[in-house]
Amino acid sequence: MQTIILYVFIILIGFFIAKKNFIPNSMKSKISHFQTAALYFLLAFMGYKIGSNDNIINNLSQLGLQAIVITIFAIVFSILLVFLIYRGGQK
């Protein structure tokens, strides 16, 4: 629970910094490059952690099936919700 509160707090700090224009415009264009690099760094460490966990590797077929089912449901219900929202707005 403390970790989630920390994440929300960090997001709020970023929001406050953006709203108060504390970052100069010349630096804003470089932020996307930093975000991309940080994302690659995070993905690499997540891959390392997953690859080094024998429990995950041994159950990969079962986890893969669950991941596919969850992904399909997420996609289908996202499309359905967007369709219902936009169709409801056109009436």
Residue 80: the pLDDT is 92
Q: What is the DSSP string of 26-82?
A: HHHHHHHHHHHHHHHHHHHHHHHHHHH-HHHHHTHHHHHHHHHHHHHHHHHHHHHHH
Residue 8: the pLDDT is 94
Q: What is the DSSP letter of 21?
A: T
* Run means of pLDDT, 10 residues per run, the chain, 91 residues: 92 90 82 90 92 85 86 94 79 52
Q: Which residues contact 56 (CB under 8 A, 6 or more apart)?
A: 50, 63
